[in-house]
Structure 1
Amino acid sequence: MDTFAYLVPLVLLPLSLSFFFYIRKSNSSSSKNPPGTSGWPMVGENIDFALAGPQKFVYDRMKKYSPDVFQTSLLGEKMAVFCGATGNKFLFTNENKILTSWWPQSMKKALLFPDFVEDSLKEVSALKRSFLHDILKPEALKQYIPLMDSMARDHLEADWSPHDEVKVFPMLKKYTFALACKLFMSVDDPEHVARLAKHFTLVTSGMFSVPIDLPGTAYNRAIKGGKLVRDELLKIIRDRKKEMIENKETAGRDLLSRMLLVTDENGEFMSEMEISNNIIGLLVASYETTSTAVTFVLKYLAELPHVYDEVYREQMEIVKSKGPNELLRWEDIQKMKYSWNVACEALRLTPPAQGAFREAITDFTFAGFTIPKGWKTFWTVHTTHKNPKYFPDPEKFDPSRFEGSGPAPYTFVPFGGGPRMCPGKEYARLEVLVFVHDVVTKFKLEKSIPDEKIVFHASPVPMNGLPVRLQPHAKCT
C-alpha cells in the first residue's frame, strides 16, 4: 500500500505536465495574443533571460516571433515585450489610459512596508504629487550644483588622489549614495551614511534575484536589508518631524522637509511610511542607475583618448573662466554641450536600465495582437539604441549623433518617455556632468583591464569594478 502511494504521484505528474503543456501550447498559439512561449512551469523563461542576457534574449525572440511584440513569462508573470520606436511610443503615450506602472512583487517586498506590498504602484507612490516633480526640475536643482561640486571634489581628494589606481564603480556607488543622503535628507555623518549604504546594498543586490525567501539566499538578504533601511528612514523622518515642530519650521530645507510639509488635495499630510517609500524610490534611482551611468561615461573616456581630449578641452575652458577654487554653477553646466553629448552616447550604448514594466488595465491591441488585461508589459531600450535604422553603425561611439535636433523621437529612451519619464532625469544630468568635470580636470584615465567583461544584474556592471590608472594633471601655476 505504501509503495502504491508513492507510485501514484509519479504516474500522475507526467500526465499533469503533459496536459499543462497542451493547454499552454493551445493558448500561446492563439492568433490574438502576441507570438511566443511561456517557458517552463513556474520558472517561465527566467533562466533563459539570465543566461542569454537581456539583449540577446530579446533579439532572439524578435527574430523568431515578431519584431514588434512577443510574449514570454518572466518574474512569474505573463508578459508582452514591446520592441522598437513604435512600441515605445505606444506605451509612453498610453500611460494611465490602458496601462499603469508596475513593479515585480519581489522588488516591492524588498523595498516597501508590508502594508503596501499588495497595493498597486500608483497607490503606493506619492511621486505623482506635483511638488516632487517641481523639486526635481532644473530651476529647483540649480541650488544643488555647488554642493554637488564640493562633494565630488572632497570625494576625489579623499578616495582617489591617494591612489595610483581605483575601481570606479564601487567608488561611484559610495559617492552617489552619500550625495543623495545629503541632498534628500541632509544626512552627512559618514558613519550613518555608511551604515545606511550597507543595508541598501543588500536590497539592491537581491531585489531582482530568484524570489526564494530562505536563509542564505540573496532575496532573503534583500528582505532583511529592506527592513533595516526602512527602520533607519523612519527614525530620520521622526527626528526631523520633531525638530520641525519644535523650531516651527514652515520652509523645506531639503526633500524630506518638503514631504513633511506638503498636503494633498484633501489637506492631508503624507504618512511617515509614504515618505519612506518615496525616499527609497529616489535612493534606488540615484544610487543604482546614476552611479552606473557615470561609471560608463568614464569607461568610454578611458578607452577613447580623442573623446577624452575634447571633453578635457571643454571643461578646462570652464575652469579658466572661474576664480581659484570657485565652485560650479548653472551657467557652467550649460557650457558642457560636448560633454553631455558624450554622456548621451554612453547612455545609448550602455543604458543603466534595460527598460521598464507596465500593467495592462484593460484589453488592448498593438501590431495586430491583443494584450489581455492583467498582462505585464516591458519596453526595451536597446531595440532602438542599437538599431542601425536609427543609429547608423550602432556599435561605434559617436557623440555627434546628439548634435542639432538629435535622434528621432522615441529612439533614445534611457529615461523613458511620456507621463512616466524619469522625474530624476535632470538630477542625473547634473550629477553626471559635475562629476565628469571634476574627474577630467584632475586626472587622465587609463583602463587597467582593456577587455573587461560587462555582466548584467539589475544594471550592466563591469565585472572587476572598472579599475583605472590615474594620471594627475600638472597643476597650473
Structure 2
Amino acid sequence: MNTYFTILLFLVPIFLLLSRTRRYSKRIPPGSLGIPLIGQSLGFLRALHNNTAEKWLEDRIRKYGPVSKLSILGKPTVFIHGQAANKFVFHNNSSILANQQPESFAKILGDRNLMEVSAPDHKRIREALVSFLKPESLKQYIGKADEEVRKHIEIYWKGKQTVTVLPVMKILTFDIICSLLFGFEQGKQRDQFLYSFQEMLNGFWAVPINLPFTQYNRGLRESVRAQKLVKELVHEKRVLLEKKGASPRQDLITFLVSMHDEDGKPVLTDKEIVQNVVLSLLGGYETSATVITFIIRQLANEPTVCAAVLQEQQEIAKSKASGESLTWEDLAKMKYTWRVVMETMRMFPPIFGGFRKALTDIEFDGYLIPKGWQIFWAAPMTHMDSSLFPEPSKFDPNRFEKQASVPPHSLIPFGGGPRMCPGNELARIETLVAIHYLVTRYEWKLCADNLFSRDPMLKPTQGLPIKVWPRELA
C-alpha cells in the first residue's frame, strides 16, 4: 500500500505539469522532453565528459532554432543562448527568476547559502559577503596570498622535475582561501577540513543519473563534519571578538560574526554564516585552481604569450626588494597578464553553464517559459561566437586590450548582474599572485596531450603533468 501511495505522490505532480504544459503547447519552444525523468540528461552528460557539449548544443540550435525545450536531470528545461539570453538570465528580476541548482547542491551545502535563497535574503547575504570581498577590503590580504604562494612553491615545486598541476593548484587555492576566510594555517585542523571538503565536493557533483549513490552519501556525511568544524570556528571567533582579542577584518568568519544592523541584531544567522563561508570556499577553490591550471597549459602552448607575460612580471619583480610581498599596485601593473587570464576564461570557462528557475510564466523571444521550468544557459555559446569574438578558436589576449570593445553580455565567466560571483576579485588576486611567482621562477613543458574533459568541472588530461626546471635569472 505504501508503495502505491508513493508512486501516486510522484506521478500526480508530473501529470499536473504535463496537463498545464499541453494548454500552452503552441507557445512553448520547439523540441522534445524525451523519456520521462531521463530526457536528454545522458546525452548531455556524455557530451560534457567527452568535451563535445558545445557541438551538442549547436546541433540542437540547427534543429530547433535559438530557443528549444528539453529535459535535464528530470526537469523540463528551456535552453537559450546569446547576448540577449545572458542579459535575460543575469539581469532579470529575482521575483521572476531564481537560481536552480542540482538537488545534491542544496542537500550538501544547505538551504541558506547564497545560491539557494531568494530576495530579499539573497540581497542581505550577498551584501555581507561583498563587504569583505570587495577590492578596497581585499587590498590588505594580498600579503597573505603572497605568503601562501611562496610557501606552496617551496613545498610542491622546488627541487621537483615533474609537477601535476591541477592537484597542487587545488591545494594552493585551498590554503589561500583557508587563510583569508577561516584564519587558520597549515596543521591538523586544516588537514581535517581539507579531507571533509574534498569528499563533500565529490558528493556535490554526484547526481544519481551520473555517479554512484555511495559517493553522494559520503559527501553528505562529510558535509556535516565540515560544517560542524566551521560552526566551531564561528563560536571561537565570537568569543575572541567579545574578549577584544580579534580584529573584525582578520578573516571572513570574524567579519561576518561582527556584523550587526542598526538595531544591534546580527546581520546573518550562524547557519547562514556557516553555509556561505563554505560556499565561498567552494567558489574560490576549484574554479580558481582550474583557471590557473589552464593558464599554465596555455603558456606552455603559446611561447610568444609566455614571453610577454614573463617580461611584464620580471619588470615587477625587479622593483621589489628581496622577500618583499606583492602589493595591490603591483597587481594593477599586470595588465597583459590579466588579459591572458581573461582569454583563458573565455576559451576554457571552468563552469560550462547553469540553470535558473522560472517563478512565473515568462515570455522570451516570442516563446512562453512555463512557471516551474528550468532555464539553461551555457557560457561557450557566446564565448566562442565568431560574431562577438573574431577567430574565437585563436588564443589572443590582445582582444581584451580595450575593455570597452568587449560586447556587452558576451563574456560571462563570473556570471553577471546581481548574482555575479562575489568572489571575482579574490579570484583575480589568487591567480595573478600565483602566476607572478611561477613564471618568474620556473619554466615548463607539457608531459601529456592537450585534451581535457568536463566531469562536470573542466579537467585536463591526467591533471596536466608538466616537466619543470628553474628559470635562469635575467
Task: Name the residue aligned to 2:139.
Answer: 142
2-structure distance, mates of 1:402, 1:239: 45
Task: Name the residue aligned to 1:435.
Answer: 434
Query: How far off its partner does 1:121 sit?
Result: 5.1
2-structure distance, mates of 1:78, 1:215: 23
2-structure distance, mates of 1:400, 1:250: 42
Task: Name the residue aligned to 2:61.
Answer: 62
* 8 Å contact kept, 2:114–2:276: no
2-structure distance, mates of 1:413, 1:213: 26
2-structure distance, mates of 1:256, 1:369: 45
Task: Tell me if 1:178 matches 2:194.
Answer: no
1-structure distance, mates of 2:102, 2:141: 33
Query: How far off its partner does 1:158 sit?
Result: 1.2
Deviating more after overlay: 121-130 vs 247-256: 121-130
Of the candidates 363, 384, 388, which is equivalent to residue 382 of structure 2? Answer: 384
What do the CA deviations read for 1:446-471 (whole angstroms, capped 9, x no partner)? Answer: 0111x242111231111301011112
Report the identity percentage.
Answer: 36
Question: Secondary structure of the residue that 2:243 maps to in structure 1?
Answer: helix
2-structure distance, mates of 1:127, 1:327: 34
Task: Name the residue aligned to 1:416.
Answer: 415
Of the candidates 30, 36, 39, which is equivalent to residue 34 of structure 2? Answer: 39
* Paired amino acid for 2:77: M
Q: 1:416 to 1:117 in 2, by over 3 A?
A: closer
2-structure distance, mates of 1:370, 1:214: 33
Question: Secondary structure of the residue that 2:156 maps to in structure 1?
Answer: helix
Task: Name the residue aligned to 1:157.
Answer: 154
* 8 Å contact kept, 1:212–1:219: no
Query: How far off its partner does 1:196 sit?
Result: 1.0
Unaligned stretches of 5+ in structure 2? 5-10
Query: How far off its partner does 1:248 sit?
Result: 6.5
Of the candidates 255, 259, 277, which is equivalent to residue 262 of structure 1? Answer: 259
Query: How far off its partner does 1:128 sit?
Result: 3.5
Q: CA RMSD in A?
A: 2.7
1-structure distance, mates of 2:467, 2:407: 37
Q: 1:401 to 1:350 in 2, by over 3 A?
A: same
Question: Secondary structure of the residue that 1:441 maps to in structure 2?
Answer: helix
* Paired amino acid for 1:244: L
2-structure distance, mates of 1:281, 1:63: 37
Query: How far off its partner does 1:352 sit?
Result: 0.9
Task: Name the residue aligned to 1:319.
Answer: 317
* 8 Å contact kept, 2:114–2:125: no
Task: Tell me if 1:81 matches 2:72.
Answer: no
Q: 1:378 to 1:148 in 2, by over 3 A?
A: same
1-structure distance, mates of 2:245, 2:353: 43
* 8 Å contact kept, 1:105–1:117: no
Q: 1:149 to 1:355 in 2, by over 3 A?
A: same
Task: Name the residue aligned to 1:12.
Answer: none
Task: Name the residue aligned to 1:196.
Answer: 193
Task: Tell me if 1:329 matches 2:327.
Answer: yes
Q: 1:31 to 1:314 in 2, by over 3 A?
A: same
Query: How far off its partner does 1:78 sit?
Result: 1.7
2-structure distance, mates of 1:117, 1:183: 19
Task: Name the residue aligned to 1:5.
Answer: none
* Paired amino acid for 2:253: L
Q: 1:119 to 1:352 in 2, by over 3 A?
A: closer
Query: How far off its partner does 1:260 sit?
Result: 0.6
Residue-pair matches, total: 455
1-structure distance, mates of 2:270, 2:378: 34
Q: TM-score, normalised by structure 1?
A: 0.89
Deviating more after overlay: 422-431 vs 28-37: 28-37
Query: How far off its partner does 1:311 sit?
Result: 0.3
Q: 1:124 to 1:172 in 2, by over 3 A?
A: farther
Query: How far off its partner does 1:213 sit?
Result: 12
What do the CA deviations read for 1:404-435 (whole angstroms, capped 9, x no partner)? Answer: 12421111111111111111111111111111
Task: Tell me if 1:246 matches 2:243.
Answer: yes
Unaligned stretches of 5+ in structure 1? 1-8, 10-15
2-structure distance, mates of 1:250, 1:179: 19
Q: 1:230 to 1:251 in 2, by over 3 A?
A: closer
2-structure distance, mates of 1:186, 1:109: 26
Task: Tell me if 1:407 matches 2:415.
Answer: no
Question: Secondary structure of the residue that 2:463 maps to in structure 1?
Answer: coil
Task: Name the residue aligned to 2:342.
Answer: 344
Task: Name the residue aligned to 1:281.
Answer: 279
Question: Secondary structure of the residue that 1:71 maps to in structure 2?
Answer: strand
Question: Secondary structure of the residue that 2:462 maps to in structure 1?
Answer: coil
Task: Name the residue aligned to 2:295.
Answer: 297
Deviating more after overlay: 248-257 vs 308-317: 248-257
* 8 Å contact kept, 2:441–2:471: yes
2-structure distance, mates of 1:472, 1:227: 43
Query: How far off its partner does 1:209 sit?
Result: 2.1
Q: 1:89 to 1:119 in 2, by over 3 A?
A: closer
Task: Name the residue aligned to 1:3.
Answer: none
Q: 1:123 to 1:178 in 2, by over 3 A?
A: farther
* 8 Å contact kept, 1:34–1:369: yes
Question: Secondary structure of the residue that 1:289 maps to in structure 2?
Answer: helix
Q: TM-score, normalised by structure 2?
A: 0.89
Deviating more after overlay: 165-174 vs 252-261: 252-261
* 8 Å contact kept, 1:355–1:416: no
Query: How far off its partner does 1:368 sit?
Result: 0.7
* Paired amino acid for 2:299: L
Query: How far off its partner does 1:252 sit?
Result: 3.2
2-structure distance, mates of 1:216, 1:230: 21
Query: How far off its partner does 1:297 sit?
Result: 1.0
* Paired amino acid for 1:51: R
* 8 Å contact kept, 1:126–1:278: no
* Paired amino acid for 2:142: I
* 8 Å contact kept, 2:241–2:258: no
Q: 1:124 to 1:466 in 2, by over 3 A?
A: farther
* 8 Å contact kept, 1:455–1:461: yes
1-structure distance, mates of 2:41, 2:124: 30
Query: How far off its partner does 1:266 sit?
Result: 5.7
Question: Secondary structure of the residue that 1:146 maps to in structure 2?
Answer: helix
Task: Tell me if 1:102 matches 2:100.
Answer: yes
1-structure distance, mates of 2:70, 2:335: 41
Query: How far off its partner does 1:281 sit?
Result: 0.9
